[in-house]
Amino acid sequence: MVEFFSQGGYAFYVWGSYGLGLILLIAELVQLRNRRRTILARLGRLMRVQSKTQGGRRQSET
């Protein structure tokens, strides 16, 4: 196990490469998930505001 992690003394280079790869891919996925949530929340708010103003108009018309 120790032998595996030391990679013949080149642990810094090997894990430095794979570590950044892992970080970048996970960060991209997290960012994408957050972006989707933000957009859905914004569109949901927009819909609520629009339906409220439409309802208000209908009430004032009658």
Partner 1 sequence: MKLFRFSSPATFYPLAGKLIPSFAVVATATILVGLYWGFFETPDKLGGTNPQKEYYRIIFIHVPAAWMSMWIYLVLAAYSAIGLVFNTRLSFMLANAAAPTGAIFTFLALWTGAFWGRPSWGTWWDWDPRLTSELILFFLYIGYIALHSAIDDPRRADKASALLAIVGLVMLPVIFWSINCPDPNQCAALHQRSSMSQMEPNILWSMLIMTFGLWMYSFVAIFMRLRSIILDREADTTWVKELIAQEKR
**Per CB under 8 A, 47 contacts partner 1:** yes
Based on the number of CB atoms within 10 Å of its own CB, is 12 exposed (0-12), middle (13-18) or buried (19 or more)? exposed
**Per CB under 8 A, 13 contacts partner 1:** yes
**Per CB under 8 A, 32 contacts partner 1:** yes
* Measured torsion, CA atoms of residues 11, 25, 27, 16, in degrees rounded to the nearest 10: 10
**Per CB under 8 A, 33 contacts partner 1:** yes
**Per CB under 8 A, 30 contacts partner 1:** no
| Residue 58: CB minimum distance to partner 1, A | 18
